[in-house]
Amino acid sequence: MGDNLQQIKTLVTRINASIIGQEKVIEKIMVVFLANGNLLLEGLPGLAKTRAIKSLSQELKASLARIQFTPDLLPSDITGTEIYQPELANSFVFKKGPIFANLKSFYWKILVLLV
């Protein structure tokens, strides 16, 4: 268990090195991540919400997808869609949306609402 705790502390230190002054936010993100929970981060632009999630995904070597909530957001913008590919024998190919990433700035381990 001591080794796991040290790895978590190292992860927190590395994320804190890329985001200065947001130690409490990083602590909350880590608690939610380790508990396999969800987190809603709200705040003004420029407070490193997306950067915190990007840093976490880079340190974990996980894929990250960010969803920008706009008035014209469609379900297929999140789930993905079928794209017509005439060069592949006139077939459709499914292009995965951000919901298929390891970490999402929308929902799953981390829930981020950018306002």
pTM summary value: 0.65
Per-residue model confidence as pLDDT tens for the chain (115 residues): 678 888 889 989 999 998 888 888 888 888 888 887 777 777 788 888 888 888 888 888 887 777 777 788 888 888 889 999 888 777 898 988 877 776 655 433 344 433 3
Give the C-alpha distances (Å, rounded to integers) separating 6 from 19, 55, 78, 86: 20, 18, 36, 52
Q: What is the pLDDT of residue 63?
A: 78
Q: Is 96 helix (H, G, I), strand (E, B) or coil?
A: strand
